[in-house]
Every structure is written in C-alpha cells, then in structure tokens.
Chains A and B, each alone.
Chain A
C-alpha cells in the first residue's frame, strides 16, 4: 500500500499486511506529513497486540529527532464493538472540539500529547474488527451486533466525508483483515477460473471482512 495521506480514500480495507508493511506505511506517511508541516495523529486500534513495534523501531530509531513521530502514534486495545464505539465517539468528540476551537479562534492551551493541536489529519488503523464483532456477537444478538458495526463504520465515513475547509481535520481509515476472510473479494479480481485457488480452503459464507469491503470501503488492497 503506497501513497500520501491525501491519496488515501475514506476507508481502505487491507488484506493481511505483514508487520513490516504496516511499519513502513506508518513511518513513511507520518514522516512525509511532518516534513510538509502537516502532522498526522495515528490511532492504532487493535484487538490482538499486533503493533509492529520492533519493525517500526528499526525504521524509525528512538531518538530525540524522532520523538515527535512516537508522540503522534496512539495505541488502543479494543476487544469488542462497545469499546470500539466508545473510542470512535471520543475521537469524533476530539475532532469536533478542535473544530469549534479553531472557529472561535481560541488559543490552544491544552498541550497534552493527545490533543489535536496543529494536527492536519487523523489516520485510523483498525486491526481485528472481525474479533471485536465475534466477541460482541457472544453477548448480543446478531441484529444488534450488526447495528453496532454499521453505526461505527457509518460514523467514521460520515466524519471523513465532510466537506473540506480550513477548520476541519482530515480523517482516513485503514481496516486490516486476514486474507482468508477476504477470499471472495480478492478472487473476484481474477477472471481466469484456472487461477482461482481451490475452494476447499476457503471459509464458506459471508465474512465480516467481505461485508465491510462491499458496503463501506473505497479500496481493497491485497
């Protein structure tokens, strides 16, 4: 997956990225934005402790020069859709507060690292959405779990889709899924039936990854 932050669509689905690929994307995107004086805040929402710390530290060594990059990355653990909903709400509140403050031209006194002061945009990385969905499914009915998922994704898209003005913060999201959950979507691109993998290893039925790809994503990266 390549490109600058502005090239990213509102919501991208990324099939089975390796740790190195994630680390590379994060480091190149954040570095480029800092060089352009348009820093990004990265929210890494994760269900399985998968942030590629070792690979990231190799690409961006821990030192005084790189301290800003490390400050701009925030990691959140989230094991079900309730928690994801809470995080999404907080994120949207932060964006709204920042917008209001900019409109009222209030000087930012809050210099906490998580405040969106001087932030050009937010890149949200969600890993393990299928785990969160399944965990919620165990506590809630199928319909209610779907409602939760739809609500969260819709709100993320709605905020990202707002018309751009000087006060708004850009929001882009990347959702990662294991490739075996995305088999149907990935195989559609191959028209040649001979090149399609055998169906016996595939998960039957529609997966959450397929659903999100079909109805909420703008781009599928394999």
Chain B
C-alpha cells in the first residue's frame, strides 16, 4: 500500500527549473520557474510581459535536454506575436503548440481534458497570455447583467474568488500530475470605477483622489513608511495592482486564491538616474528602464521576522531599492536581440560617444532590431503603441517623479520604496 511519494523519489525525479534567461530573476525564483507551480507576471501594457513569455518559451525550446518536451501557448484576445520579432522561429518548432481560449469555462474544460490524457498532452510549460482579461471580461459581463436585471445582485468579489479558486484548482491538478509550469501573463490596473465600492473596507492606506480619474493612490504623508518623503508633505502615489486583484471584483479575500500562485512578478517602468558633478553642481541624467518586483506570496503571507533568511541576494542590489519581506527587485534591460537580461547593454549615449564619425554611419543598425508594437524602451519607437500606454506610463512616472526630484536635491537619500504591488 503506497501513500504519496517519498521526498527522495521526488528529488531524483525532479524536473529542472525553466530558466527565464534573466540571471537575477532566476536566482530570486530559486534557479528558475519551478515545476508543479503557477506564476503570475503582470505589468502595464507595453512593458514586455509577452516578450518575457516568449523569451522563457524560446529558452525552453532551445534547451537540448528538453527536446522531447512540449510547450503550450494559450492565446486569449491576442495572437501569438512571434512573426513581428526575433522569436519567429518558435512557430516552426514542433515543440510549440497553440490554442485560443477566451472563456473561463473553456479553460476549465480544456485543462480537465488534457489532464485525462497526459501521455498525449503533457506540456511542461504552459503560458496563458491575457489570463486576467478572461477573468475581467467575465466579471464585467456579470456586472452588466446585474445592472439590467436588478433582481440579480451579485457579490462580484465573492464570485471572482470562487471562479479563480475553481480555475486555479483545475490548473494545479494538471501541474501536479504532469510536472508542468504555468505562467499567467496579466495586465495591471489601477481603478476604482466601481463607485459604490467602499474603499476603506479593503485597504486602509489607499484612497481615491477627487479629480475624476478614480485612481487608487497611496498617500505618502508624514505617517507613511515611504522613506524618501522626508518633508511630510502629502503626496499621492498611484498604485498599480494585478488585474486579477484590482478589478470590479476588488475585495478582501484575494488571499484565498493567491495561495495557488507560487510567485508574482510585477514589471514596471522606472527611472535610472546618474549624477555627474558639473562645475560644483550635480547634474542628473535620467533614462527610463524596467524593473521587476518578484513577490513570494507564501513568504509575504507568513508575516514573520526573516532575520535568519539568506539575504545575500538582496544585499547584492543597490541600496537605491529597499527590500521588503519575501520581495526582490530586479532591473532588466533588453538587448539587441530583444531578450531581457539583468546586465545592462551599452547605452545609447555611450554608443554615440564611441561612434561619433563625420559620416554619421551607425554600424549597430546592421543588427535586426526587435520590433515590438507595444514597446517603449529608450531608443525604441513609441508610435506603434496603440494601447493605453501613455496613461500607464504616466501612472508610473507620477509615482517616481517625486523620488527623482528628491534625488536631485539630495543624492545621499536616493531611495525608492515599492509597496507590495509596486
């Protein structure tokens, strides 16, 4: 009579984690995305969530030790955007499978079906691009229905939690039986458009500014734990949360479905500032960059003193960022091939310096650039950004603007603290 699997068996049959290609991110995730686990990656439009998903898929496909293993890309409202960039060879790979799913019920049925036939449908990596859109769409439909029919009153938060628990249970069952890794690529949101919603029941440190924008803001006043605000002046910082958390079904019980998610990776814009001493005056040079906030939800929930934890990784970061419990911060940079790395490539400014010539020729142009319609990294064209990019950028810029100003006046106090959701 056997009961479960012994730990020694589990270790001997342990599937190697899937590398993201970003060294520091892999280190945060304990050597990469672990098998039998679900991860959430979220961020504003254009930040590169899909690109990161493609990068992970590309690493997986190019890993020769995984030649017999399959990858599944689940499209929701966007098709797999490989034709426009350097990941086009993924489509030719026999390891890559695609499916389009736009409904919660379809997703549940799909995972139940593939779980029944693991020999044929054993995918070691599953990426769901736009998972939060499916949930949000579902909730908005219910909201509309309840508006037209006043007899139908739904507790949207309760409903959202139930749906997510059901869905994530089915996905967890599949990941446990097949040893696969699931990545959810989600949008982020900042909205309090549900006007009847009483914010004080959810988070005591958030409020809605009365300027018609209905954005959640965090007041960094004198009582705030935001370290850079030393003046005690009331400053409002917008808070970006995952679309799974911050939607019409916002509420207090999100931890009930969050237990299924191993780690949450938030991608945000940040300013990278350099200071040069110019004639006894500090001159600041800002360039936009991306940061990732990796949150180990289990560790954060434990809410315990982590003095004994291994902090060697966090100490390797610049003191510009403060480390919260169970949270790590990783800076990422896209290289010429469109891959994110944790090491910064040569900046445009440096290149210009090196490449100054009378002919103004730029030999770097020989490389095929990564073309991403959503991208807005420095040096990339922003004209193709069709989504609410400007708005989301402004959100992040707004939150960091005060930091930047503070930093200029006092470079020693050059610190930014991200809250749990960035």
Contact = CB atoms under 8 A, between A and B. Distances in A.
A129 to B, nearest CB: 11
A16 B3 contact: no
A79 B162 contact: no
A19 to B, nearest CB: 7
Nearest to B10: A75
A73 B201 contact: no
B355 interface: no
A67 B203 CA distance: 47
A178 B259 contact: yes
Contacts of B162: 138
B255 A93 contact: no
Residue with the greatest number of chain A CB neighbours at <10 A, chosen from B10, B11, B200, B298: B298
Interface residues of A, number: 53
A97 B165 CA distance: 37
Given A134-B165, A200-B201, A50 B6 contact: no
A16 B301 contact: yes
Given A75-B10, A76-B4, A200-B200, A20 B166 contact: no
Given A113-B6, A131-B259, A138-B166, A18 B204 contact: no
Contacts of B256: 130-131, 134
A74 B11 CA distance: 12
A39 interface: no
A101 interface: no
Interface in B332-355: none
A179 to B, nearest CB: 6
A54 interface: yes
Contacts of B4: 43-45, 74-76, 87, 114
12 contacts: A18-B299, A20-B308, A20-B309, A43-B4, A56-B7, A74-B3, A75-B6, A79-B169, A138-B166, A178-B301, A180-B301, A200-B202
Interface of A: 16-21, 43-45, 47-51, 53-54, 56-58, 62, 67, 70-77, 79, 87, 90-91, 93-94, 97, 112-114, 128, 130-131, 134-135, 138, 178-180, 198, 200-203
- Which 6 pairs across A and B sit closest by C-beta, in order of nearness? A76-B4, A70-B8, A18-B302, A73-B7, A74-B4, A16-B302
Given A73-B7, A114-B6, A138-B166, 15 more contacts: A45-B4, A48-B260, A49-B262, A50-B298, A70-B8, A76-B5, A90-B1, A90-B3, A93-B1, A94-B3, A114-B3, A180-B255, A180-B301, A201-B252, A202-B252
